[in-house]
Amino acid sequence: MYAAKIYGYDTCPNAGFNKSTVNDNLGIPKNLIPTLLISIGKADEEGYSSIRLSSDETTKWL
């Protein structure tokens, strides 16, 4: 990720993905397990804000 930044690219790590689907689509042997995907590209300079609900709004404590 640091190397990508040095060359002017932005990255985003992703650990939440279907590992068997990635293996199938990329032809990776079943004995190898991917643990992280990294998106690489140019970030949108303007971007946009995202709204997240607070934990009080999404969690019910028992």
Q: What is the pTM of this model?
A: 0.61
pLDDT in tens, 24-62: 999 999 999 999 999 999 988 887 788 888 888 899 888
Q: DSSP letter string over 17-32?
A: S-HHHHHHHHT--TT-
Residues 14, 36: contact at Cβ < 8 Å? yes
CA distance 26 to 37: 12
CA distance 59 to 47: 29
Q: Which residues lie across from 11 on neighbouring strands? A: 40
